Amino acid sequence: DAGVIQSPRHEVTEMGQEVTLRCKPISGHDYLFWYRQTMMRGLELLIYFNNNVPIDDSGMPEDRFSAKMPNASFSTLKIQPSEPRDSAVYFCASSDPDVEGYTFGSGTRLTVV
Partner 1 sequence: QKEVEQNSGPLSVPEGAIASLNCTYSDRGSQSFFWYRQYSGKSPELIMSIYSNGDKEDGRFTAQLNKASQYVSLLIRDSQPSDSATYLCAAGGQNFVFGPGTRLSVLP
- Spatial separation of the C-alpha atoms in residues 91 and 14, rounded to whole Å: 21
Nearer to partner 1, 37 or 73 (CB): 37
Nearer to partner 1, 54 or 81 (CB): 54
- Candidate segments 12-20, 69-77, 78-86, 99-107, binder of partner 1 by CB under 8 A: 99-107
User: DSSP letter at 26?
Assistant: P
Q: Under DSSP, is residue 37 helix (H, G, I), strand (E, B) or coil?
A: strand
To the nearest whole angstrom, how small is the minimum distance from the Cβ of residue 101 to partner 1? 4
| Residue pair 103/26 in contact by the 8 Å Cβ criterion | yes
Residues numbered 23-52 forming contacts with partner 1, rule: CB under 8 A: 31, 33, 35, 42-43, 45, 48, 50
- Within a 10 A sphere around the Cβ of 42, how many other Cβ atoms? 9
Nearer to partner 1, 42 or 70 (CB): 42
Nearer to partner 1, 78 or 109 (CB): 109
φ, ψ (nearest 5 deg) of residue 71? -155, 175
User: DSSP letter at 106?
Assistant: -
Contact positions vs partner 1 (CB under 8 A): 31, 33, 35, 42-43, 45, 48, 50, 55-56, 91, 100-107
